[in-house]
Amino acid sequence: MPAVATRESPANLLSQPYWYRHLPPTADVHQLDEGLFAVTGNAAVQEALAHPSIVAEHPLKASARAFGPNVLDADGPSHRAFRALLAPILSAGRITEYKQALMPGLIRGLVDGIAGVETDDFYNSFAHKVPYGIVCTILGIDASLEDRFHGLTRPLARLLDYPTRETDETHANVAELLRLIEEQRAAKTADERSLLETIERTRDRRGISLTDSEVRSTALLFFLAGTETSSAFITSLVYCMGRGIFSLDELRDEQVRDDYIEEVLRLYPPVQTIVRFAGEDLTVQGVAVPRHSAVLASIAGANRDPRVFDHPERFQTGRSLKGSIPFAVGAHACPGAMLAKTEFSLLIEEIIQRCSEVVVTRDRLGMESQSFSHPADFSVEFRTR
């Protein structure tokens, strides 16, 4: 077994935005404590996330305890059953429909709010508006409940973060959100193409044996993942637009825009740290990891691995992104990646229509969160044309 890689406590280490930088660069798999390992190199992270015996499910994990059985904390057949429920909602055809009918109005609404404005709290004041609008509609939640969902969901995100913050408030919020989802589901007011209705149909048609409680938990996790990761990433996107020394007009070209989004995703993946568990005694890159150990995979470290990316800290659009894994890899790779990228591309398009410049006017270089990571403590101004 390797020596413990750092004298810092795991909680202190994980509270730092780029914690992988505090570990010896000569290794990719680090023992942080008894039963606690960190995986930081690109190949090692990919190996860990795709390893058949490194699993997401652990009954004592905070999210499993809070949400009950759900898509994030399941493996094997039950995980595939949960994913099958989400698949119809995230198909290419549906995304095209969202792109044409749902997203433009929401994005125009957001850009109406930011054009000509300087804000020192883009994340809390603006970044959530488009993702919450999209996911509420997809889920089938009444639009009037959007703000209520936002207020309840944001503190809840800490349950999925590292270090985890588990309080009476987070538990109360889970209970209230599950109640609201059940209320909406029972009222059957949602469009028949909504997630709640689609889940019901898919479950019945495919004979997927999930309880109502599991369906509600999956809906809530879909909501949380779809809204909070996108809110975080939109903040990173705007931050990079504001920090870049280039003409926004360059982003009118769709290919340039896509490359730009991919590079922001490489440097600022919203999910920077993923926790998994060793289902049996195993090795990662030759390092022994005992059964039951928690394995922290650093997506941030993988995406800035100098063996994979030249000048990994440099923002460089158009570079080869082979090895960039902002949406993770393996069975638990984000199913909403295409939906998210469509949303981000349309948002940039609308911002550059209306704004001549996006300028970061104050920057304390803060970063917050491991699971919904985003730049913090900066001001940004959207100067109109």
Partner 1 sequence: MESKIASLRKWIDRLHEEPLDIQDDTDLIQSGVVTSLQFVQMVIEIERLHGEKLDPGVINIESMRTLKAIDAAVFQAT
Query: Which residue among 10, 41, 133, 326 contacts partner 1 (CB under 8 A)?
Result: 10
- Residue 2 carries which DSSP code? P
For 309-359, the DSSP string reads SSSTTS--TTS--TT--TT--STTS-TTHHHHHHHHHHHHHHHHHHEEEEE
Residue identified by tokens 């209320």 is: 183
Cα–Cα distance for residue pair 204/202, rounded to 1 Å? 5
Cα–Cα distance for residue pair 272/18, rounded to 1 Å? 9
Query: Which residue among 8, 33, 197, 377 contacts partner 1 (CB under 8 A)?
Result: 33
Write down the least CB distance from residue 35 to partner 1, Å. Answer: 4
Strand ranges, E, within 48-143: 54-55, 118-119
Site for partner 1 in 175-194 (CB under 8 A): none
| Binding range to partner 1, per CB under 8 A, among 55-63, 143-151, 212-220, 260-268 | 55-63
Query: Which residue among 1, 26, 59, 255 contacts partner 1 (CB under 8 A)?
Result: 59
Phi then psi for 51, rounded to 5 degrees?
Answer: -70, 125
Q: Is 293 in the site for partner 1 (CB under 8 A)?
A: yes
Query: Which residue among 69, 163, 244, 323 contacts partner 1 (CB under 8 A)?
Result: 163
Residues facing 118 on adjacent strands: 381
Write down the least CB distance from residue 334 to partner 1, Å. Answer: 22
Write down the least CB distance from residue 292 to partner 1, Å. Answer: 5
Q: CB-based contacts of 6: which residues, under 8 Å, 6+ apart?
A: 13, 22, 23, 30, 32
Q: Is 75 in the site for partner 1 (CB under 8 A)?
A: no
Among 200, 197, 154, 194, which residue's Cα sits nearest to residue 177?
A: 154
Q: Pick the closer one to partner 1 by CB: 35 or 244.
A: 35
Tokens read off for 312: 């990994």
Q: Pick the closer one to partner 1 by CB: 138 or 296.
A: 296
Q: Is 352 in the site for partner 1 (CB under 8 A)?
A: no
Q: Pick the closer one to partner 1 by CB: 171 or 193.
A: 171
Site for partner 1 in 294-313 (CB under 8 A): 294
Q: Which residues bind partner 1 (CB under 8 A)?
A: 10-11, 33-36, 58-62, 65, 162-164, 166, 275, 277, 290-294
